[in-house]
Amino acid sequence: QVQLVESGGGLVQAGGSLRLSCAASGSINVANSMGWYRQAPGKQREFVARITSSGSTYYADSVKGRFTISRDFAKNTVYLQMNNMNPEDTGVYYCNGNRAAQNYWGQGTQVTVSS
């Protein structure tokens, strides 16, 4: 059984920062390919960032230079540091894990950026 639990969402003003956490448990760990996606109201879920099993990182163009994905093997947790946020970053943020060609999702955490 795989469990991904996000935390750290909330309300922040434009220009502010938040750090999201995704605690992994069960038959998945953060050495697997892990990522963050988000879904704004009325829009499809979109890719935000990914860290591969080798440690390579990838970002959506809209967040490059502002967001950083990282992982802590000891805590089996993936993080998304979000800086210089803007209202377009508002949405539900989902943690994603990929293991053995299977995709797993957390329940999501709400992030709201006020202007």
Mean pLDDT on 9-30 = 95
In whole angstroms, how large is the CA radius of gyration of the chain? Answer: 13
Residue 40, pLDDT > 90, answer: yes
* Long-range contacts formed by 52-60: CB under 8 A, 24+ apart: none
In tens, the pLDDT along 55-97 reads 999 999 999 999 999 999 999 999 999 999 999 999 999 999 9
The overall average pLDDT reported for the chain is 96
Res 80: pLDDT:
98
Q: How confident is the model at residue 27 (pLDDT cuts 50, 70, 90)?
A: confident
- Sequence-distant (6+) residues with CB within 8 A of 85 are 12, 14, 15, 16, 17, 18, 66, 113
Three-class DSSP category at 89: helix
